Structure 1
Amino acid sequence: MPVGIEAWITQIPPITRGWLALSVLISLAVQCQLMTPLQLYYSPKSAFVNVQPWRAITTFFYFGSISLDFVFHLFFFMRYSRMLEESSFANRKADYFWLLLQSAVMLLALAPLFNLPFLSSSLAFVPIYLWSRRHPSTPISLFGLFTITAPYLPLALVAFSWVLSGTWKAAAGDLVGCAVGHIGWFMRDVWTREMVGGPTVFSEAPTRLKRLFGDR
């Protein structure tokens, strides 16, 4: 039986585990100078005109050099992505991947408008926002200093990121992530219930994707 760190890793749901592993590996590779951030950032020109399509993927896995800000974003992303995948998306790996894929496409479209070369923290705020809206009465203790209810969690984390970085520009990506998370929440929890009355292509993964992930 796995013990220690191996047991902890195997207990993380698969989508969150894969996301976490790639993010840590890429940051370690940059830290060890095996690659540079200039090879990872996203811009439409670099990705599509200069034919470097990997940038549309690596931008979602680089949280910056290993620092307090890196630990802050990685911890909260892992915590709430795991909780969301274990609750709302339990046994629905394809639907969770579909949520992240749709959010990633929206972020790629919005990135040039806000000059965001790296979108990892933006995408990380999508599961945080969705979890907070689906658990509106849950109390959250932030660093043991004060307690808030879940819907205020994303804004509290944005504010903390702002303080941590010392500039509002560093929190711009987090705010864009909250906006995309709000769209994802609206399309899944409001539109499907009040406007359509059932699942849509925005709320449920295509059948082929479900088969790929082994979901029924």
Structure 2
Amino acid sequence: MTIPPITRFLTLCSLALFASVHFGYVREYQLWYIKSDVRDKREAWRIPTSFLFGSTGLNYVVDLFALYRHSDLMESGPYAYHSPDYAWQLILACTSLIVINHPLQCFTHQRALALCVTHLYGLLSPNTFLGIPLTYLSYVLALIDFAQRGRIAAAQSLGGLIVGHLWYFLFWRPGKNADGSYRPHGPWAEWGNAPAPLRWIVPSRANADLSEEEISERERERRVEATRRREDERRQRGTGEEERRGLLRSDYRAPPMPGAGCCRGGF
């Protein structure tokens, strides 16, 4: 229960679908996104399952880890205590992935969604993974798809990068707020707020045992702590600069000249 709600939902559903296929309860093709079946047979479940289940074996483990890891970091960092907004923007991102990858006739979108979330977190975070900045990690994964699975797989991954870019530039702005918080300020920031029904379904916090007052108090404490930490860093940088500049002026003493004592004694 320490995992944020949206990340927990995505991970558990994906594992449940994988177990169902592994033990033979359902077939893989029953979970794929097939447009004719969705349109003619009204099999609407294929839309969400195509984002939660993709390949099998090692590729599935890599995709699930990337989706879980970076979704958890997103929901615990930039979207901390704003899980409904994250869920709503995730729905918009999945819809965009279906539209962008429509000409490719993709059966699954799990890889594209994982790269989309990874790319968005890389744009918002200065961290690195195995020495690689997270900003470029998604590009590396797309190149691996091109090398291993060909142009079609690389094109699907490219769709995830495009949606991640749109997600960032439409709902976010570069950098953080003055108080150190991550809040959307892009041109479509207002459209990123979750509608009322989704706010009623999804808890707006990572731990369900927190009240709204505790959430507000913790967010205020986090902002005050971030402001204090920035002031301390600025003060330390200023003190170091003053020491470097003032040390030679205030503590400087000219060394005695050779023979000065003899001359003074002679006179």
SS of the aligned residue for 1:88 comes to coil
Q: Which residue of 2 aligns with 1:107?
A: 97
Equivalences for residues 117-196 of structure 1 within 5 A:
117-135=107-125, 137-141=126-130, 147-163=131-147, 165-190=148-173, 193=185, 195=187
CA deviations on 1:8-57 (whole Å, 9 max, x unpaired) are: xx332111111011111111211212111211111332102221111112
The percent of aligned pairs where both chains have the same amino acid is 24
1:37 counterpart letter in structure 2: E
C-alpha distance in 1 between matches for 2:187 and 2:23 = 51
Q: Deviations over 1:187-213 (max 9, x none)?
A: 1114974657xx311x22123322332
Judged with a 3 Å threshold, the aligned counterparts in structure 2 of structure 1 residues 115 and 138 are, in CA distance, closer, same or farther, namely same
TM-score by length of 2: 0.67
> Amino acid of the residue matched to residue 19 of structure 1?
L
Aligned 8 A contact 1:100 1:123 in 2: no
RMSD across aligned positions (CA) = 2.1
Structure 2: how far apart are the matches of 1:166 and 1:108?
20
- Give the alignment's TM-score, normalised by structure 1: 0.82
* Cα distance change, pair 208–172 in 1 and its aligned pair in 2 (3 A): same
Q: Which residue of 1 aligns with 2:31?
A: 40
The Cα of 1:148 is off from its aligned counterpart by 2.0
1:140 touches 1:149 (CA, 8 Å); kept in 2? yes
Quick one: which amino acid aligns to residue 27 of structure 2? T
CA contact (8 A) 1:154 1:178 kept: yes
Matched residue count: 196
- The Cα shift of 1:102 comes to 0.4
Query: 1:129–1:154: 8 Å Cα contact kept in structure 2?
Result: yes
Pick from 74, 78, 95: which aligns with 2:68?
78
Aligned equivalents of 1:79, 1:194: Cα separation in 2? 25
Kept after mapping to 2: 8 A contact 1:122/1:174? yes
> Which of the numbers 2, 7, 19 marks the counterpart of 1:11?
2
Contact 1:43 / 1:112 at 8 angstroms: preserved in 2?
no
Deviation readout 1:142-177 (Å, 9 max, x if unpaired): xxxxx22221111012223334x3423233322211
User: What one-letter code is carried by the residue in structure 2 that aligns with 1:57?
Assistant: P
What SS does the aligned partner of 2:132 have?
A: strand
Deviation at residue 139 of structure 1 after TM alignment: 2.6
User: Please, which moves more after superposition, 90-99 or 112-121?
Assistant: 112-121
Task: Determine which structure has more spread, i.e. the larger CA radius of gyration.
Answer: 2
> Contact 2:18 / 2:53 at 8 angstroms: preserved in 1?
yes
* Contact 2:170-2:186 within 8 A present in 1 as well: no
Conserved? CA contact 1:40–1:62, under 8 Å: yes
| Separation of aligned partners in 2, 1:39 and 1:132 | 33
Does the 8 Å CA contact 2:170/2:187 hold for their aligned counterparts?
no
